[in-house]
């Protein structure tokens, strides 16, 4: 038997093989082309930066020119001309005037051409062909401001001077006007610079300086004569004085120091005055000295005696202009420098003195001390037709109780009066509001009780049994008209 192989039957196989070879060759050629395209070391064709044609430029050459252009941009001079002889002309480079460009953004945009797979680089190159990147230049406000202040120190060393309110000896009010300081308008300069910053690609070392006209203005201080006048302190609206009682140097020091802390205090509309805060401030600044205070209703040596003469004087002043009393209490004992019912005591942690500025305008407190008296003056604005009177009346007299103490030195069965005692009182105080002299309101503002001081009698009625001495157990003391006590030498 004989077999015959026909090559004609293998022709389709040959065609298939040939086709596969051709496809492989095409793929190889395509891959080679892709590799060549994606691995190019130059910028895509037609690529521009703010109109600068850099397409086809090798990376190394572009980097060199790019850095050169950036440096030329930073060094580009700006002639800043002043419209005033008081402010000098200056010539400074853009880089010193806060120039900011987006070079990092451009580097990020070009990074896909140099990083990643061949396929991704080729895709990025194809996408960026004939693309245009606009380089955004700007001026940093803080850097520009710092440069201006550094280069025009002679201008910025002159600070604005605030206006002042001066109270003259006759209690009239004088306003000393403010003084403005000349300044360079930073925001206007920033806008002009950003409009004139040239684009990269066009810069040369022969470029002339950019020319900008400075805008100047007058900077006012925070406090101007108008802002002071708008506070509404138009005139002296009241004053009240109290005379120093016979006392030592410590009490006078305490009064004067507290009055000094009160001097020129300014209360906004609605503000609440807090005497406790003033006492702490005075103690820290001046310190308080030894003077009699009231301890549990009795006079005793202490520290800070006399501080309530300031609160009492101020209380009388604020009553007479209709201010709202927030917190106030009378002394436990009658005082000599103000009428009964018209005093305001203070006991740290127990009793405070507070009032509210309800005039609708600012309120200025002034104090004046002499060797004999303290005066509190209030400046502000209330209706001139409205006046206030204050009257107090005793509605009950409290007879002093009698207290006995044993004195073994006395003859048995005898007695001796040690203290004659003083009466106490219950007092009502009214504020009377008048308009054009006619009474329109009468209000009870306080009902106060002043404790009587006992009649003290020493006796000797024989031996005192154990446990019958009558001595009170010590407890926590409430100190009025001072901050500490008692003090014994």
| Residue 193, pLDDT score | 96
Inside any domain, residue 6: no
Confidence of residue 340 (pLDDT cuts 50, 70, 90): very high
Q: Are residues 136 and 283 in the same domain?
A: no
DSSP state of 65: H
Residues 374 and 390 in one domain: no
Quick: pLDDT tens for 242-272. 999 877 889 999 999 999 999 999 999 999 9
Residues 257, 191, single domain; the answer is no
Q: What is the pLDDT of residue 287?
A: 93
Which DSSP symbol is given to 333? S
The token pair at 29 is 């050629």
Calculate mean pLDDT across residues 358-372.
95
Q: Residue 157: beta bridge partners? A: none
pLDDT (mean) for 157-163: 96
Q: Which of 35-39, 152-156, 171-175, 235-239 has the lowest mean pLDDT?
A: 35-39
pLDDT for the residue 473: 44
DSSP state of 105: H
Stretch (H or E) spanning 104: helix 103-114
pLDDT tops 50 at residue 488? no
Residue 469 has pLDDT above 50, yes or no: no
First and final CA of the chain: distance in angstroms?
A: 151
Provide the pLDDT for residue 465.
Answer: 60
Please tell me the predicted confidence (pLDDT) of residue 485.
Answer: 65
- Whether 477 shows a pLDDT value over 70: the answer reads no
Helix (H, G, I), strand (E, B) or coil at 381: coil
- Looking at residue 298, its pLDDT comes to 66
Q: Is residue 23 part of a domain?
A: no
Sign of the CA dihedral running 117, 122, 123, 127: positive
Most distant pair of Cα atoms in the chain: their distance:
175
Element of type H or E holding 191: helix 186-196
In a domain, 121, yes or no: yes
Q: Show Cβ contacts of residue 241 under 8 Å, excluding neighbours closer than 6 positions.
A: 313, 373, 374, 375, 376
pLDDT above 80: residue 113:
yes
Helix residue ranges, H only, 76-198: 103-114, 118-128, 141-151, 153-156, 186-196
Find out whether 43 and 53 touch, Cβ atoms under 8 Å: no
Supply the pLDDT for residue 276: 96
Contact by Cβ (8 Å): 314, 262: yes
CA pair distance 410, 127, nearest whole angstrom: 121
Number of domains in the chain: 3
Phi, psi of 122 (to 5 degrees): -65, -40
Distance, CA of 141 to CA of 58 (rounded, Å): 36
Tokens of 414: 């005898």
DSSP 351: B
Q: How confident is the model at residue 322 (pLDDT cuts 50, 70, 90)?
A: very high
Across all residues in the chain, what is the average pLDDT?
88
Q: Assess if residue 11 is contained within a domain.
A: no
Select the more confidently predicted residue: 261 or 462.
Answer: 261
User: What is the four-CA torsion angle of 42, 46, 51, 54, rounded to 10 degrees?
Assistant: 20
Please determine, for residue 239, whether its predicted confidence score (pLDDT) is greater than 60: yes
Residue with tokens 């090798």: 58
Handedness of CA 477, 480, 483, 487 (dihedral sign): negative
Q: What is the C-alpha to C-alpha distance for residues 391 and 429, in angstroms, rounded to an integer?
A: 6
**Residues 110 and 127 sit within 8 Å (Cβ to Cβ):** no
24 located within any domain: no
Say how far apart CA 230 and CA 165 lie, in whole Å: 12
Report the candidate in 59, 41, 54, 36 with the shortest Cα–Cα distance to residue 129. 54
CA–chain centroid gap for 48, Å, is 52
pLDDT at 476 over 60: no
Q: Which residues lie closer than 8 Å to 260 by C-beta, 6 or more apart?
A: 282, 286, 367
The pLDDT confidence band at residue 3, using thresholds 50, 70 and 90, is very low
Measure the CA–CA gap between 460 and 409, rounded to whole angstroms. 8
251 and 276 in a common domain: yes
For residues 391 and 358, membership in a common domain is answered with no
For residue 238, give the 3-state DSSP assignment: strand
CATH of the domain at 432: 2.20.230.10
Residue 301 has a pLDDT of 75
CA-CA distances (angstroms) from residue 417 to 403, 406, 408, 414, 470? 10, 12, 15, 11, 18
Q: Does residue 292 share a domain with residue 206?
A: no
84 with 213, same domain? yes
Same domain? For 308 and 430 the reply is no
Same domain, 300 and 390: no
pLDDT digits (tens, 9 = 90+) for 388-416: 999 999 999 999 888 888 777 777 877 77
Q: Are 331 and 351 in contact (CB under 8 A)?
A: no
Q: Look at residue 299 and tell me whether its pLDDT is greater than 80.
A: no
* Total-model pTM: 0.74
The answer to whether residues 251 and 335 touch, using CB atoms and an 8 Å cutoff, is no
Query: What local confidence, expressed as pLDDT, does residue 444 receive?
Result: 97
Q: 157 lies in which domain range?
A: 48-165+178-219
267 with 131, same domain? no
Could you tell me the CA-to-CA distances from 377 to 236, 369, 380 in Å, in that order? 7, 11, 10
pLDDT value at residue 2: 53
Confidence of residue 436 (pLDDT cuts 50, 70, 90): very high
Tell whether omega for the bond before 292 is within 30 degrees of 0, i.e. cis: no
Residue ending a domain, choose from 335, 360, 382: 382
Is residue 193 a part of any domain in this protein? yes
Residues 154 and 267 in one domain: no
The residue with tokens 């805060």 is 277
Half-sphere exposure of 430 toward its Cβ, with a 13 Å CA cutoff?
11
Residue 308 has φ and ψ, to the nearest 5°, of -80, -10
Residue 431 clears pLDDT 80, i.e. is over it: yes
Closest by alpha carbon to 52, among 168, 167, 133, 138?
133
Helices (H) and strands (E) in the chain, counts: 11, 28
Inside any domain, residue 409: yes
- Read off the pLDDT band of 10 (50, 70, 90): low
Rounded CA separation 42/118 (Å) = 14
In a domain, 61, yes or no: yes
pLDDT exceeds cutoff 90 at 220: yes
Q: Any idea what the Cα angle at residue 51 is, between residues 45 and 55, rounded to 5°?
A: 15
Is residue 210 domain-shared with residue 116, that is, in the same domain? yes
pLDDT at 13: 78
């Amino acid at each position: 038997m004989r077999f015959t192989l026909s090559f004609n039957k293998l022709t389709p196989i040959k065609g298939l093989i040939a086709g596969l070879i051709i496809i492989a060759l095409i793929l190889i050629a395509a891959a080679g082309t892709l590799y060549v395209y994606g691995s190019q070391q130059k910028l895509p064709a037609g690529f521009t930066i703010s109109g600068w044609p850099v397409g086809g430029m090798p990376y190394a050459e572009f980097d060199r020119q790019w850095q050169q252009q950036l440096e030329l941009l930073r060094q580009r001079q700006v002639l800043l001309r002043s419209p005033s002889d008081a402010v000098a002309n200056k010539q400074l480079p853009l880089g010193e005037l806060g120039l900011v460009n987006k070079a990092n953004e451009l580097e990020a945009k070009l990074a896909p051409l140099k990083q990643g797979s061949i396929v991704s680089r080729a895709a990025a190159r194809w996408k960026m062909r004939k693309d245009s990147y606009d380089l955004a230049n700007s001026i940093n406000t803080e850097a520009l401001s710092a440069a201006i202040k550094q280069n025009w120190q002679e201008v910025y060393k002159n600070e604005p001077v605030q206006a002042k309110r001066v109270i003259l000896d006759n209690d009239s009010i004088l306003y000393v006007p403010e003084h403005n300081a000349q300044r360079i308008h930073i925001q206007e300069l920033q806008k002009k610079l950003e409009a004139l910053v040239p684009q990269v690609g066009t810069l040369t070392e022969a470029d002339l300086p950019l020319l900008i006209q400075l805008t100047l203005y007058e900077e006012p201080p925070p406090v101007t004569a108008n802002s002071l006048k708008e506070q509404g302190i138009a005139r002296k609206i009241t004053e009240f004085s109290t005379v120093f009682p016979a006392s030592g140097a410590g009490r006078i020091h305490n009064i004067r120091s507290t009055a000094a802390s009160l001097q020129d205090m300014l209360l906004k509309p609605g503000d609440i005055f807090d005497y406790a805060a003033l006492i702490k401030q005075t103690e820290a600044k001046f310190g308080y000295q030894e003077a009699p205070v009231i301890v549990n209703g009795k006079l005793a040596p202490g520290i800070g005696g006399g501080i309530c003469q300031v609160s009492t004087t101020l209380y009388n002043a604020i009553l007479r202009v209709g201010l709202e009393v927030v917190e106030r209490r009378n002394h436990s004992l009658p005082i000599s420098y103000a009428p009964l019912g018209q005093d305001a005591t203070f006991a740290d942690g127990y009793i405070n003195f507070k009032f509210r500025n309800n005039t609708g305008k600012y309120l200025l407190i002034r104090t004046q001390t002499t060797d004999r008296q303290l005066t509190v003056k209030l400046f502000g604005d209330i209706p001139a037709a409205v006046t206030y009177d204050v009257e107090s009346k005793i509605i009950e007299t409290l007879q002093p109780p009698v207290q006995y103490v044993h004195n073994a030195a006395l003859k048995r069965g005898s007695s001796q009066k040690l203290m004659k005692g003083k009466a106490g009182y219950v007092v009502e105080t009214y504020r009377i509001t008048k308009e054009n002299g006619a009474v329109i309101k009468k209000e009870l503002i306080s009902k106060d009780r002043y404790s009587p001081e006992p009649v003290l009698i020493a006796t000797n009625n024989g031996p005192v049994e154990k446990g019958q001495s009558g001595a009170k157990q010590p407890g926590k003391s409430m100190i009025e008209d001072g901050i500490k006590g008692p003090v014994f030498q």
